[in-house]
């Protein structure tokens, strides 16, 4: 077997075992709910108490089934995380693009301002971001009158 495949097999076995445990626990909880409902019905003296016991049993069964499904989803996600690390190399994150009003801050004419005037930058009002600095891009784009590209992307 190859290294990646054996890890996948191990993770699949772990997931199956964990799912079996979750299913067994849910089955035990459901059985316990049914038994307690039968006892409560036998002790009940009127129909309201019997209906309340039945409602409690149904709620406990729904709760146990929901917990089982949550556990199975968690187990599947854990397996995916473990096998993804084996089969897929970690790719570097692309560099973050900073924009202001949809304009690319890396284009010519973009200036980082932080309250003080930047030498060579034109006087432009910019609202500071959460980091205390804002990007201002005052370079017009070719083919537009407002500094934004045209809808067709063509130069006009």
Would 108 be classed as within a structural domain?
A: yes
Residue 136, classed as helix, strand or coil, is: strand
Phi and psi of 39, rounded to 5°? -65, -45
Domain that holds residue 67: 3-87
pLDDT at residue 118 in the model: 46
Would 155 be classed as within a structural domain?
A: no
Residues 13 and 72 in one domain: yes
Overall domain count for the chain: 2
**Contact between 110 and 139 (Cβ < 8 Å):** yes
Residues 72 and 8 in one domain: yes
Q: Which of 65, 82, 78 is nearest to 8 (CA)?
A: 82
Residues 48 and 121 in one domain: no
Would 156 be classed as within a structural domain?
A: no
Residues 79 and 18 in one domain: yes
Would 153 be classed as within a structural domain?
A: no
Residue 15, classed as helix, strand or coil, is: helix
Distances (CA, A) of 30 to 1, 18, 69: 41, 18, 14
Give the Cα separation of 64 and 30 in Å (integer): 7
- pLDDT tens digits, 57-98: 999 999 999 999 999 999 999 998 888 765 555 666 766 666
pLDDT at residue 116 in the model: 47
Residues 110 and 51 in one domain: no
Mean pLDDT, the chain cut into blocks of 10 residues (156 residues total) = 67 93 96 95 93 95 96 93 69 64 56 49 49 52 54 52
Residues 97 and 78 in one domain: no
């Amino acid at each position: 077997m190859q290294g990646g495949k054996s890890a996948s097999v191990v993770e699949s076995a772990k997931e199956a075992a964990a799912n079996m445990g979750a299913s067994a626990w849910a089955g035990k909880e459901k059985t316990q709910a049914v038994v307690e409902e039968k006892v409560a019905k036998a002790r009940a003296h009127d129909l309201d108490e019997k209906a309340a016991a039945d409602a409690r049993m149904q709620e406990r069964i729904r709760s146990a089934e929901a917990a089982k499904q949550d556990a199975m989803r968690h187990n599947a996600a854990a397996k995916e995380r473990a096998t993804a690390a084996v089969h897929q190399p970690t790719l570097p994150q692309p560099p973050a693009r900073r924009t202001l009003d949809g304009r690319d801050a890396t284009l010519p004419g973009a200036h980082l301002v932080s309250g003080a005037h930047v030498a060579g930058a034109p006087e432009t009002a910019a609202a500071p971001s959460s980091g205390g600095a804002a990007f201002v891009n005052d370079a017009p784009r070719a083919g537009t009158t407002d500094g934004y590209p045209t809808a067709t992307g063509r130069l006009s």
